[in-house]
Structure 1
Amino acid sequence: MARTVELLLDEALDAEVRRVWGVLEAAGLPSQALHPHETNRPHLTLGVANELVAGGEAELGRALRRLPVRLRLDGLVVFGGRRRTLAWLVTPSPALVDLHAGVAQALAAYAPAPSPQHLPGRWTPHVTLASRLEPQERAAALDALDGLRPAEGTTAAARSYDTATRTVVPLG
């Protein structure tokens, strides 16, 4: 069980990420396009914690007052162990780094055990394109996205996703 803090993308950037999801799907590869849940949409995760204690959502809202921020997606990265995740890297602009630091500070105060991989200095900002890639699919996915051009836009909003209830709550 976990609660996330996620940035949603503006309409044009969301559409571009979905287009890339479609390229992977059309190639017969795993893609976030195949994730059927109604809450599935392109996003950038700023933090994850087991839970938010009372006052946490309000404090996160204060940290998220810095929205919107510009985003640039540029380059691919593969995360994980044997079954890996393919993601589009987000260039960490000063505004995004400041926003992330504010969210991390709010989580440190209002969330027991925030995810260490999302702490400042360890966080790799990205938008997930595909998960659970088998080793042979990884190379095929990178080939399918060869020549992927950078994409730019802004954040549209923020939300928290609850993995236990599979629901979202708007933030900020």
Structure 2
Amino acid sequence: MRSIEVVLDAPSDAAVRAAWAALVDADLPSLGRHPSPSNAPHVTLAAGPALAVPSGIAAPLPTSLRVGGLLLFPAGPGRSVVVRAIVLDDALAAFHRAVHAARTAHPLVGPAPEAVETTLPGAWSPHVTLARRVRDEDLPRAVAALRSAPLPAELGVAGVRHWDGDTRTITPVT
């Protein structure tokens, strides 16, 4: 799988990592349990099995992202992915559309591979993932742990990266 992601500035990255650590300290699932150097707090803009590094994105990258509420996405029977929503304001929506336009604008190579439907404009729910596969019975403890490490109202943006899960390669997107 490949993805195009917004990465956070150092203070915002540290704030999300503190939330991950609070979950670990509570002996719950957390992205903080993944020691890979490529594991960084991010907001996925597009994902798919063969996404190329986009170029010529025709909208400015927002400098900050407004944090919304705690959300749960299904992760199998009796389990959820725990995330913090990112508010989809006009600037972020325009950038997201521009990323997808740049991703599909390859006239010499033909149509670009399709992105996963839930990352397409109109179907996307921007978020920062905190934990995967949290059991339903552990959700109250997860909420309590996350209250001990609240995220700021806004997260600062450091840039955009392309992640290639097959080669485990990160490429900055300019």
TM-score normalised to structure 1 length: 0.87
Q: Please name the residue that 2:36 is paired with.
A: 37
Take 2:168 and 2:73, find their aligned partners in 1: how far apart are those partners? 23
Native 8 Å contact 2:15 2:151 kept in 1:
no
Q: Please name the residue that 2:5 is paired with.
A: 6
Q: In 2 relative to 1, CA 9–125 (structure 1 residues): closer, same or farther, beyond 3 Å? A: same
Counterpart among 65, 80, 101 of residue 71 in structure 1:
65
Native 8 Å contact 1:118 1:124 kept in 2:
yes
2:108 counterpart of 1:99: no
- AA partner of residue 142 (structure 1): V
> How many angstroms does 1:36 deviate by?
1.3
- AA partner of residue 67 (structure 2): L
2:131 counterpart of 1:130: yes
Q: Please name the residue that 2:159 is paired with.
A: 157
Native 8 Å contact 2:61 2:92 kept in 1:
no
Aligned residues: 166
Take 1:12 and 1:104, find their aligned partners in 2: how far apart are those partners? 28
Take 2:128 and 2:85, find their aligned partners in 1: how far apart are those partners? 7
> How many angstroms does 1:5 deviate by?
0.3
Q: Give RMSD over aligned pairs.
A: 1.9
Take 2:142 and 2:27, find their aligned partners in 1: how far apart are those partners? 9
SS in 1 for 2:113: coil
> How many angstroms does 1:16 deviate by?
0.8
- AA partner of residue 165 (structure 1): T
CA displacement, residues 53-91 of structure 1 (integer Å, 9 cap, x when unaligned): xxx53xx23217612432111211011233321111111
Identical residues among aligned pairs (%): 38
**Which stretches of structure 1, 4 residues or longer, exceed 4 Å deviation after superposition?**
none
Q: In 2 relative to 1, CA 32–163 (structure 1 residues): closer, same or farther, beyond 3 Å? A: same
Q: In 2 relative to 1, CA 22–163 (structure 1 residues): closer, same or farther, beyond 3 Å? A: same
Take 2:151 and 2:32, find their aligned partners in 1: how far apart are those partners? 19
Q: In 2 relative to 1, CA 161–64 (structure 1 residues): closer, same or farther, beyond 3 Å? A: farther
Take 1:75 and 1:143, find their aligned partners in 2: how far apart are those partners? 14
Q: Which one has the bigger helix percentage?
A: 1
> How many angstroms does 1:164 deviate by?
1.1
